[in-house]
Structure 1
Amino acid sequence: MVKTNFLVIGSGVAGLTYAIKIAQRFPEKNVLIVTKSDEQESNTKYAQGGVAVVLDLEEDSFQKHIQDTLVAGDGLCDAAVVEMVIKEGPKRLKELMLWGANFDSNASGKLDLGIEGGHSEYRVVHHKDITGFEIERALLQQVHTLPNVTVLSYHFALDLITEHHLNVPKSKTISCYGAYVMDQKTGAILTIKADRTVLASGGIGRVYGHTTNPIIATGDGIAMAYRAKAEIKDMEFVQFHPTALYTHKEGSSFLISEAVRGLGGILRNKNGHRFMPDYDKRAELASRDIVSQSIDNELKKSGDTHVFLDCTHLDIAVFKNHFPNIYQECLNHNIAIEKDWIPVVPASHYLCGGIVVDKNGKTSVANLFACGECSQTGLHGANRLASNSLLEALVYAHNIFEYHAAHPAVSLYTAIPDWNDEGTSIPKEYVLIQHNLVRLQALMRDYVGIVRSNSRLTKAVRHLDLIYNEVEELYRSVKINTELCELRNMVNVAHLIIGQSLQRKHNKGGYYNVDNVQTDKDSLIKELL
């Protein structure tokens, strides 16, 4: 039994921000961060674009940012949450900078503000094209100065501990008492008892195989919360980034930042036709759902595997200064952007739904809080506005901290049993895990992709049931390992995405079903399908 005051699952911007603040506020209490890979490996690390914050009140305004967010969210945003997050943005950015995060400045010494799809003004604060990496660096540096924070790297959270695991009478109220966590190096399973548990476990990109997310993005936090009976919402709104670098290899894809189109990059088909003006008057700067759906339609019409991002007309010196990492990665694939078009294709990028939380990050399970991509706050609605995700993570990590500072947890004495794997055996082969992973990812790409239909979704339910039964049988009979648990979590996430997709009868934001009730926004794409 390991006891801690505050358990944080995840080491991205959301989890680290909360951990720093709560540890500084309560130096006499313990904060335990559990992360399943290296401490710096998270979706945050790969965030290229930046943090959307209103700073120039002469050119920009909170109201403009609010309106851009509401438009992108297509009527499903919580307006009060949108206002709260955006108005808090400058304060949270200032804290990041005080903690040592560096952002690019212009010739006048002010922060260099970029623009991305869906934004009406220049307001994206960035550090080259590795903004997330820089933020992660600064936050980890702060964490390591705090003696009451412990980071357990390569520890995999298996399940949240609730009444389900305890020898207590059933109750209408479900509470979280901590988590079972596996040391991936030794296989030992820790029982961690916590007064407060914060899920900051990131996204679900690997469910689709082709993704801009790192390999660790398997929806673990959402799956654990789902099994703990927490409310989960808006899982149908999977945002596909329009421009991932196309290669012939499967797996994680390199992201070509939205900011490249903000700088003037143009999308073309193989014949050189600039097609985005055919779909939206904002052309390449339309919101991600429009651009992704438009590319998907171009590929369906042509049978091609990818389209192209043309940057050959841009100032190469400016491009290399803004996007050195992108420029080098393209060179690694024999693409010289000053003369070659960049082959791109949409890839799974961000989940707008997740574990439902209130403004304080509280879930429907007592003593369980969530922030970052695993949460559903109401900010994004049906489609996330570019660079609003780091902003949301910073604001909600702060809100959870403030709530915990004002409402100290009461440590309840509860006897928690150790993990029980009696009757299981070490698997003799892992081929079934890999086989079912490939089946699941192909199913999600082919049946639950950018453009969906009732027929494909219904078929997906049947196919997923077969995978689910096989995975659950494996889970019950063998000693667990990370790959099996990740697969089980991804199956849970797939079930939520498919089920909530079937429940949605109107197309909104990033969700498009050809059989749904028509809206004005859909009409052009529907005509061309």
Structure 2
Amino acid sequence: MENMENNFDVIIAGCGAAGLYGAINLPSDCRILLLCKQELTLCNSALAQGGIAGVYKSPEDSIELHEHDTMVAGGFTNNPETVHILTTHAAHEIQAILDFGVDFDRTPDGELHRTLEGGHSRHRIFHHKDATGAEILDKLLKKVKTLPNVTILEHAMMTGMQKTDTGFSVNVMQGGSCTVYSSHFMILATGGIGRVYRFTTNSKIATGDGIAFAYENGAEIRNLHLIQFHPTAFNDHHTRECFLISEAVRGEGAYLLNCNKERFMDRYDERLELAPRDVVSHAIILESRRTHSDNFYLDISYKDSEFIKNRFPMIYEKVLEQGYDMTKEPIPIFPCQHYLMGGIQVDDNSETTVPNLYAAGECSHTGVHGNNRLASNSLLEALVFSRQAALDIAKKLPDAPKTFTAAEFPTKPNPQKIPKGLRTEIRQIMQDNYFVIPNKEKLPEGFRRITEIRDQLLNGNYIVDADYVEAKSLATVAYIILKEVL
């Protein structure tokens, strides 16, 4: 007998900015299931420090300038149509989150404060201290929790996804048991792929699950090899999750120093410390080869100490915990995996090549970022294109089927736990083969081994738990990346 309680108009996988904002913008009579892999506040959106870019009530800025800066950062490989959507919709989304109560920093006269980051020709970054993502996520969550049409499941791991003749079914593991939920439409807002690398600024849930499920269901994946390595992650390689030193620190005048505590960016780019992220990361790697050292620093200590503490309170406290006072000394930094420009290919409405399957946020490929994301365009993209998905679904809802078909997710007898060490091996292969500057000599062997691991996971008789799903996702992501660059 069909369990109507498990049927929804829309299932959204992911509770970051894209997932929450998508839910908010869907019609109020639309039944929505929001799947959160772990706790609600654990996502890459919450880690975003610098801010959200946009032209909003600014007489000194223009949409054309924002478009141009975005295209320059992306090497003019961006999709001009989606860049135009991104920049023209910015004012609407910024006003919307202000209406939800987002507390952006203001100047002494009460005006919204705009800061500058690498690659921007104008001050257009709105921020909440150095914890903008957490502030936006907090207010979006509060809004979603007031919506009676939204059911939120926390600690809900999607272990399977299938297309059906009425939409989609997902197998969700929660508290050790699995439940199948069905919907007419689905939005994947599952974030990035950071955990495919040994060191990343991403949260521990960023294993590319949505991308892997989309790929298995026939969706086109494009430009997954376009990975942004942030140049200034705190250089503490004792943990895989590296604390990010925001782009905004350089925007406020911080210098990059080599192992000799000398500025060096003048050797590589005339924009110096304010060059786009990919340029700075490449420069650090080239400088490390020149100096035969991986020791690099970010120094803003010449600025007023109270300014630093007030402008970057979270960063100040974080590095102080590690034994560094950024008001008095340089901070050790090194490039680290940070963001994915490629992903699940979508159109202007965020629909994938699989009808009624949508993707928004970091897991999607809208084309707005080109080869390299402009700083603080990520939160904006998450909002703009999740709303695009919601608006498109709203148009289709009246014609959606009246029934639901639930897929089956059979299990094999006597499954085993996956062998230990597979995820560690995948991360090491990616770190060795494809970090900032690809190692062309190692790539063929790395791809061969990744293919072997993926085949083993797909064809073996393993327990389908979180460990298996994440390992399979990482192997799939690594497989697609290395296949693209070979």
TM-score (norm: length of structure 2): 0.96
Q: In the alignment, is the contact (CA less than 8 A) between 1:201 and 1:374 conserved in 2?
A: yes
Superposed displacement of residue 437, structure 1: 1.1
Is 1:272 matched with 2:243?
no
Residue in 2 that maps onto 1:227: 216
Q: Quick one: distance in 2 between partners of 1:466 and 1:221? A: 22
Residue in 1 that maps onto 2:461: 477
Q: 1:52-63, aligned counterparts within 5 Å?
A: 52-63=53-64
> In structure 2, which of residues 5, 25, 28 is the aligned counterpart of residue 26 of structure 1?
28
Q: Quick one: distance in 2 between partners of 1:258 and 1:417? A: 45
1:249-291 deviations in whole A, cap 9, x for unaligned? 0310000000000000100011122011111110000000000
Residue in 1 that maps onto 2:154: 153
Q: 1:104-253, aligned counterparts within 5 Å?
A: 104-162=105-163, 176-183=167-174, 185-186=175-176, 188-253=177-242
1:375-426 deviations in whole A, cap 9, x for unaligned? 0001001110000011111111111111122222512645434321131335
Is 1:16 matched with 2:20?
yes
Superposed displacement of residue 481, structure 1: 1.3
Q: Quick one: distance in 2 between partners of 1:478 and 1:76? A: 41
Q: Quick one: distance in 2 between partners of 1:297 and 1:447? A: 17
Q: Quick one: distance in 2 between partners of 1:306 and 1:271? A: 9
Q: In the alignment, is the contact (CA less than 8 A) between 2:194 and 2:207 conserved in 1?
A: yes
Q: In the alignment, is the contact (CA less than 8 A) between 1:9 and 1:33 conserved in 2?
A: yes
5+ residue gaps, structure 2: none
Residue in 1 that maps onto 2:313: 324
Q: In the alignment, is the contact (CA less than 8 A) between 2:159 and 2:171 conserved in 1?
A: yes
Superposed displacement of residue 306, structure 1: 3.0
Q: Name the amino acid aligned to 1:177.
A: F
Q: 1:366-381, aligned counterparts within 5 Å?
A: 366-381=355-370
Q: Name the amino acid aligned to 2:31.
A: N
Q: Name the amino acid aligned to 1:13.
A: A
Count of matched residue pairs: 481
Q: Name the amino acid aligned to 1:207.
A: V
Superposed displacement of residue 299, structure 1: 1.9
Residue in 1 that maps onto 2:484: 500
336 and 31 in structure 1: CA distance in 2 versus 1, 3 angstrom threshold? same
Q: In the alignment, is the contact (CA less than 8 A) between 2:20 and 2:140 conserved in 1?
A: yes
Q: Quick one: distance in 2 between partners of 1:90 and 1:411? A: 36
RMSD: 1.5
5+ residue gaps, structure 1: 167-174, 503-529
Q: Name the amino acid aligned to 2:431.
A: R
Q: Residue 119 of structure 2: SS of its match in structure 1?
A: coil
> In structure 1, which of residues 295, 300, 312 is the aligned counterpart of residue 289 of structure 2?
300
Q: Quick one: distance in 2 between partners of 1:419 and 1:405? A: 29
Q: Quick one: distance in 1 between partners of 2:82 and 2:107? A: 31
Q: Quick one: distance in 2 between partners of 1:250 and 1:447? A: 20
Q: Quick one: distance in 2 between partners of 1:306 and 1:488? A: 35
Q: Residue 455 of structure 1: SS of its match in structure 2?
A: coil
Residue in 2 that maps onto 1:523: none
> In structure 2, which of residues 406, 410, 433 is the aligned counterpart of residue 416 of structure 1?
406
Q: Quick one: distance in 2 between partners of 1:121 and 1:239? A: 22
Q: Quick one: distance in 2 between partners of 1:176 and 1:356? A: 19
Q: In the alignment, is the contact (CA less than 8 A) between 2:227 and 2:339 conserved in 1?
A: yes
Superposed displacement of residue 462, structure 1: 1.6
Q: Quick one: distance in 2 between partners of 1:68 and 1:298? A: 26
Q: In the alignment, is the contact (CA less than 8 A) between 1:117 and 1:286 conserved in 2?
A: yes
Q: Percent identical across equivalent pairs?
A: 37
Residue in 1 that maps onto 2:472: 488
Superposed displacement of residue 176, structure 1: 4.5
Q: Residue 129 of structure 1: SS of its match in structure 2?
A: coil
Is 1:282 matched with 2:271?
yes
Q: Quick one: distance in 2 between partners of 1:313 and 1:176? A: 58
> In structure 1, which of residues 376, 380, 396 is the aligned counterpart of residue 385 of structure 2?
396
Q: Name the amino acid aligned to 2:482.
A: I
Q: Quick one: distance in 1 between partners of 2:129 and 2:167? A: 40
1:72-119 deviations in whole A, cap 9, x for unaligned? 111211112111210110111100011111110011211110111100
Is 1:387 matched with 2:376?
yes
Residue in 2 that maps onto 1:357: 346
90 and 303 in structure 1: CA distance in 2 versus 1, 3 angstrom threshold? same
Q: In the alignment, is the contact (CA less than 8 A) between 1:176 and 1:365 conserved in 2?
A: no
Q: Residue 442 of structure 2: SS of its match in structure 1?
A: helix
